[in-house]
Chains A and B, each alone.
Chain A
Amino acid sequence: MTAARAAGAQEHGAPVAPRPAAARRGAGAAVLSSGRLLRLELRHNAMLWLLPVAFALFFYNGYREIMALPPMWNLRAMTMQNRLLLDLLIPATGAAAWMGSREGRRRITDLVAVTARPRWSRQLAVWAATTAWAELACLACIAVVYLVTARQASWGSPLWWPAVVSAAGVPALTAIGFAAGAWFPGRFVTPLVTVVMFFGLAFSTQAASGDHSYWQISPLTVGAFDIGAAPGVASFYPYLPDLSIAQVMFTVGLTVAILGGLGIPVARMRWLAAVITVAGLAAAGTAVALAGTGRLDPHGMIVIPALHDAASDQPLRYTPACSRTPIPVCVNPAYAGFLPAVTATVGPELTEFAGLPGAPARLSQVPLVYRQVSANGIDVSASGPRAAAFVVPDQVPGWLGTTGAEFAAQLAEGLGVTLASDVILGGGQKSAAAPTQAELAVIAGSVRFPPSVQSRDLAPMYGQLLPQPGSPADLAGRRFAALSPAARHAWLAEHLTALRAGRVSLAQMP
């Protein structure tokens, strides 16, 4: 139409009136429209096709390792937090990067750019669909681990904070992948961002140094570097959510900041997006700073003073699981599965010492005490000095490849020696004088050391509580050990007072 004709036409025809209905669309219609868009994106999302990959990775990498652990809630939940995100990273970040780069790869940018829905809103729909599938995978993995553990665990309840940290980490993974794909659309972005993220996240768990390390903010970190998921953590005291709260704050802040960053190029929404980005960065930064204020508490968990609830310091109430042995052995119910191994290891001593003067009426498990030393070193000690309050070592069967024999050896070295020395030497009430040769012989004859540890692990104890190998006391101890527990009990019942008084010589021993 020529300009002249147009001028004429303008006199007769006003601009087409706007559609008031379109302008006045209600919030409900917008939600419905967004819901339909999300449904379309869910149906055509790369993460949907990668769900089998995600499950397979978790099964072969994380699940089998978690299920090999003893069925204790703390061990499995904390190990799951340490594994799950890393297993989901490749499919989740990869799918998000692929979806983020979709418009650029498919050269559809012009076509979608002229639609009324803002680019930010369009991108959020794609990200939300990707995240929904990835989150579904995450929650399914958590559900399987927790359901199986619920059937196997002897006591306790699910630890939810490790699950929350994992679930909160998934949107961060997809946000990073999506943003990379959206900002640098191309086929190579997906593998590149996936590899970088994988090594970045894996490295983040290795960089911590001490309980004040900022690197503890990594969502894979479940506690102090050298403890992590250990049986003694969160068994006697509640699981401290301090570090978990900081980690969730970090991942949520990171997600918000990245999603806000996607909206910054959008006209009219620039300021809103910038505010959201800054708020997200502030939350993430605050979380990192909080992680840096952490300190290891005696129960093996990280306390962040600003987030700490003193009520969490109260010990858990429980009814101990006790053995029906001459001297009952009572353990935390979470350790009930190990009670047979404990009683089998020290069973002869329990029969031998039961009823003797100074013998404990029962042996009760007490928690380990953890203390941070230099760098990532952790000092682990027993909170109870005597056999009546003993500790079950963290190296329980199935934890980090610990075998039943190794567990028994540790018990014999710890509980067995302590029990024998307590009874023979008089429970610490004797003077600080060195034990007599006869006492050493009886202790050596009473404690059942597995053959494998005799020479290797007990060397430091020789000369303190055990006689020198090949010495007369050692030979007397071997003779004493050859007796039955009942015979040893009978001899001790008759000679214990004299033995403690130093009036029994090696020659007088049976």
Chain B
Amino acid sequence: MNVEISDLTRRFGRHQAVAGVSLQAGPGVFGLLGPNGAGKTTLLRMMATVIPPTTGHLRLLGRDPGAYGPRREVRRRLGYLPQNLGYYPGFTVAEFVEYFALLKEMPAARVPAAVATAVERVDLSGKARAKLRTLSGGMLRRVGIAQAIVNEPELLLLDEPTAGLDPEQRVHFRVLLRELGQRATVVVSTHLVEDVGAACSQVALMDQGKIVFDGTPGELTARGTEHGTGDAPLERGYTAVLAAARA
């Protein structure tokens, strides 16, 4: 398992953002669904080793990220796209991706080729020399994805990766996700259920800091056949599970 989580909690003062989550995930695309404030981003930040859990057990890529050495090794093999992508406006697309390749301690000799590949995979080859300040929001999002995948991560954590992408790019991105999921564990946090349906082989639904559903997109769809509301089958499953959890 690339991700092993048991009874994971995270508190911010009196607020418990994540309340006893247990999950396991191997290679493939794993969708993390849930309404705003469900705890998806906090869970993803713990998995990305940005913040430590308050309690519980977390193993990533077979290592305990609580210890410095294993955490550093995990980070070398990790890709992360936060919900709010900060960037350096004076950097070009290629430089920004190269910067993160170097921070991820990729061998310097491999960096130029890896940067070119990552930029090409997000369809920004034509903009490789463009300054980030000149790019649109959607393009910046793709730059964020490029920096996340530049080191060919074995664990890729994407928080709202399709926010700001146009429909064509979203389709393109889903293809990319499926490709990446063939050899790595990709965890995608999103509130767009159609992304999950199109790209994910597994899906978990969070609400109020807890996992309220863990299964395949098909199983989630099946939950909504009688009780759910929404336009798409997966949306009906989503609403049905949430309604059941809150009841």
Q: Do A and B bind each other?
A: yes
Residues of chain A at the chain B interface (Cβ within 8 Å): 1-3, 6-7, 9-10, 13-16, 18-19, 21-23, 25, 29, 32-33, 35-37, 40, 43-44, 102-103, 106-118, 122, 267-268
Residues of chain A contacted by B215 (CB below 8 angstroms): 2
Task: Say whether B87 contacts A113, CB under 8 Å.
Answer: no
Task: Say whether B109 contacts A29, CB under 8 Å.
Answer: yes
Task: Say whether B85 contacts A115, CB under 8 Å.
Answer: no
Residues of chain A contacted by B202 (CB below 8 angstroms): 1
* Known contacts A10-B24, A15-B2, A116-B72: A2-B49 contact under CB 8 Å: no
Closest to A103 in B: B86
* Complex interface bits, B195-235 against A, C-beta within 8 A gives 1, otherwise 0: 00000001000000000001100000000000000000000
Task: Say whether B24 contacts A40, CB under 8 Å.
Answer: no
Residues of chain A contacted by B104 (CB below 8 angstroms): 115-117
* Known contacts A3-B214, A16-B62: A36-B108 contact under CB 8 Å: yes
**Stretch with Cβ within 8 A of A (4 or more), from B73-81, B119-127, B162-170:** B73-81
* Known contacts A15-B1, A16-B2: A115-B24 contact under CB 8 Å: no
Shortest Cβ distance from residue A297 to the other chain B in the assembled complex, whole angstroms: 52
Residues of chain A contacted by B105 (CB below 8 angstroms): 22, 25, 33, 115-117
Task: Say whether A19 contacts B77, CB under 8 Å.
Answer: yes
**Chain B interfacial residues counted at CB < 8 A:** 52
Task: Say whether B76 contacts A6, CB under 8 Å.
Answer: no
Residues of chain A contacted by B72 (CB below 8 angstroms): 116, 118
Distance between Cα atoms of A116 and B68 in the complex (Å): 10
8 shortest A-B CB distances, which residue pairs? Answer: A15-B62, A6-B24, A108-B86, A115-B103, A107-B86, A268-B68, A32-B108, A116-B75
Closest to A26 in B: B107
Sample (15) of A-B pairs whose CB atoms are under 8 Å apart: A3-B24, A6-B1, A10-B1, A16-B27, A16-B62, A22-B77, A40-B91, A40-B98, A40-B99, A40-B102, A111-B82, A114-B50, A114-B80, A122-B103, A267-B68
Q: Is B61 an interface residue (CB 8 A)?
A: yes
Distance between Cα atoms of A190 and B39 in the complex (Å): 36
Q: Is B37 an interface residue (CB 8 A)?
A: no
Residues of chain B contacted by A14 (CB below 8 angstroms): 62
Distance between Cα atoms of A419 and B6 in the complex (Å): 100
Task: Say whether A114 contacts B48, CB under 8 Å.
Answer: yes
Residues of chain A contacted by B73 (CB below 8 angstroms): 18, 22-23, 116
Shortest Cβ distance from residue A217 to the other chain B in the assembled complex, whole angstroms: 38
Known contacts A44-B95, A115-B100, then 11 further A-B pairs from the complex at CB < 8 Å, ordered by chain A residue: A10-B1, A15-B62, A16-B2, A22-B107, A29-B107, A36-B111, A44-B88, A108-B87, A110-B45, A114-B48, A117-B102
Task: Say whether B49 contacts A114, CB under 8 Å.
Answer: yes
* Complex interface bits, B8-45 against A, C-beta within 8 A gives 1, otherwise 0: 00000000000000111111101000000000000001
Residues of chain B contacted by A115 (CB below 8 angstroms): 75, 100, 103-105
